[in-house]
Amino acid sequence: MARSSYHSDYMMISPGTDIPSVVNMIVEIPKGRRNKFELDKETGLIRLDRYLYSSSVYPGDYGFIPQTLAADGDPLDILAMVNEPTFSGCLIEARVVGMFRMKDKGFDDFKVLCVPNADPLFGHVRKLEDVPPHFLREVEHFFGTYKQLEGALTESLGWIGADEATHEVRSSVDRFRSSMGNVKI
């Protein structure tokens, strides 16, 4: 879905302060929630899309990078490691540390992994190898199982590092800008 279908102030926010390594993230779903919130493309409001069918909860704050266009036609998904959940609609300046690649219903559905850029608790986290291995396993398990009870299939394609993840961020920003043609953002 091209950017022109979005009627949202959220999509007017810059994709980041140091693209592609430091991005802006709009939180849709706070850490620890089963509610599936999404940006409503028509109203620009955060709406409740559904409840997860499983008892799993999101392992971090989850949302999107504004002014990006992922391969699935939506803004690029992003998951932030946070100690405390924020709230739907929160803007986080985030440092890209890796990306979880997966397929959802047969289509690429990649998830950028980040940390809040200014959080001193994550100041040392610069690359995937700095992330606790168990957290990576939790994220992979969550996205591998969170839709099973809905009857939807997901497939893990594994993790890639910060360099490759920032390449995907750059590509998603470029796709978004190409989709806009001559429209000023």
List of residues 6+ apart from 6 with CB closer than 8 A: 39, 41, 44
**What is each CA distance from 153 to 56, 102, 115, 158, in whole angstroms?**
16, 11, 28, 16
- What is the CA 31 to chain-centroid distance, rounded? 13
The more confidently predicted of residues 6 and 172 is 172
Q: Taking residues 45-71, what's their average pLDDT?
A: 94
Q: Taking residues 119-141, what's their average pLDDT?
A: 97
Percentage of residues in the chain having pLDDT higher than 70? 94
pLDDT tens-digit series, residues 67-114 = 999 998 999 999 999 999 999 999 999 999 999 999 998 899 999 999
Residue 4's pLDDT band (cuts 50, 70, 90): very low
Q: Taking residues 17-39, what's their average pLDDT?
A: 95
Of 162, 87, 163, the C-alpha closest to 131 is 162
Please, what is the average pLDDT of the chain?
Answer: 91
